[in-house]
Chains A and B, each alone.
Chain A
Amino acid sequence: MFSLRATMFHPGEKVNAKRKFLVSRGIRHLTCGFISMFASGVAWAQTASDGIARTQNPFHPHSSSAHLIQQLSFFTLAITGAIFAVVAGLWLYVVIKYRQHGSNEQMEEPPQIYGSTQIELAWTVIPILIVVVLFLTVARILFALQDQPVPQNALHVDVVGHQYWWEFRYPSYGFITANELHIPLGEPAGTVTTGLKLLSADVDHSFWVPSLYGKVDTVPNKENDIVLDPTQTGVYEGQCAQFCGTAHAQMLLRVYVQTPEEFAAWAKRQQDTAIEDPAVAQGRQVFETQSCVSCHTIRGTAAHGRFGPDLTHLMSRDTIASGLISNTPENLKRWIEDPEAIKPGALMPAMQLSGDQIDQMVTYLATLK
């Protein structure tokens, strides 16, 4: 089957055994490194869980969909790992076995082999078979994930990506919040509870909470739909995964998966108009007379802006500046004084207010529970 040349192959006389050993050991270590690279990535992810499920790690799934994706990833790793072991093994064998020993003077050329139809056919057909198996597996899971029906009673949320924050609209409840998405856990856990409609107000963004689902872009003039099927209550971190401008790195988000009771209580509170506390009327007046109102909404006041986050229940959120810093009066003050210092590129300008005005406004905002 080989069309062999007549010439004989004479191996070099001297074999430098020690050097050969060192080289082969070095290459072996390198190969082990490759394999352990993937292993360690996965292993670290699995031990990272620490009671509270607060994670941005795809290998730490907390929804039925993310579990399925993880299983698919292990299946793929097994196939590619096996391919790597076989082919890298052949490569290693060839590199060690057929090195030239000694100088190349006076050595005859090795036998010339031009090819072999049988062998070449074999290593064409085998990859095709692997592709078929992998493709069928992927396609089955792909359709299963993308064609998940949304139950009648599911929660619907419109997710709108903005430069550089997330707007969450709950149309059936009639309120809007920002950066912290609340959804209920299903009964039983792991069933679909929420359908998200992903939209964009300006440029491309990508909604990504690795523990719950893969990323899906929010593309202007296009509507994307995904469903969430969490398996456990908790707080899950995510962030914008498509470059969207200067402050893209700081466009974080969180998803709070709550028991249905907790969620219902939260949603009921969100439906209320803003708390009116006469003690902070001064701060409210500052807010309403500045251009804050052209971007922010506080239901029950004169503020009806749509460009920035809805602040009606600002203090029910754990973070401000799109998940960047915790929501405390001190941080609020720093943020209002100079957003650029905390989040370079943020579109909210520093309002050049006096110290008193800022203090009054923060006192007011801190009442918006």
Chain B
Amino acid sequence: MTFLKALVPVLVVFFTITSFPAISGAQENPYFVAYDHYLEEPGNLEIEFFSTFGTQRQGNDFQAYWMEFEYGAKAWWTTEFYLDGQTTFGDSTIFTGIRWENRLRPFKQEHFINPLLYVEYEHKSGADKILKEGEGHDLEADFLTPNAVARRKISNEMELKLILSTTRKGWNFTENTLAAKNFSNLPWEFGYALGASRPLALKASARRCSFCPQNFIAGAEMYGGLGDRYHFGLHDTSHYAAAVMGWNFPSGWTLRISPGFGLNENSHQFLLRWGLSREISGFGSMIGRLFRGRP
């Protein structure tokens, strides 16, 4: 029954996304946690659904998911809104919070290393399990608390990231440094994410195709916590390494898959992530027409 409940958001998202007719060809990176320096094209909306299956020692495995609405407000500003939820097998399915994320590009042109500023506000419960980043002293054991108890603990948090990314010979290398502050009296927490990826082919095919190698991007990412202001370092932190693969369909859909593994005893042993997204070009124009009141 819990499994069936977990399927409901998947089906809702699928039918929502497919109901939009305007699409554009996407060229999305394959990362789940790391960010590169590329922003959403202005006026485009990307609707994304991500799911993470995780194993849990001494407790029930879980499946967490989030829905993401990513909008290119300007060529230098992308804003994203998230809805998070999770199903803990043998326990319950619950909504766990929202996030509002902004990525800003400070420089006009491409450089050898391209910085991007990231600011996020999170309003989430203690039952949140999406593992969208590694920060502070997050441990596998934190997820043992039953949903009914964990959901009562609400936190408001601001997260800042400095994203440094470069692309050379088709390879993208990115490094994200994270600092997060809970608005209650908790210290600053830190984390990191690293990523590398490359399309399987650099030249585009002269015909439309779904299986052409340029539509596939493969790579790896690694992320984890770096403690907090008072206990900075690797002690009591969790770390993960994952292979990532993205498949950009010419129709505007992107499928991502990532098997990941915990790198120490504080980490979940295995995480299987997948995500489906669709880019809708000209979404801003549709909304603009609504405000202007003419076709």
> Bound pair: A and B?
no
Using a CB–CB cutoff of 8 Å, the interface residues on chain A facing chain B are: none
Using a CB–CB cutoff of 8 Å, the interface residues on chain B facing chain A are: none
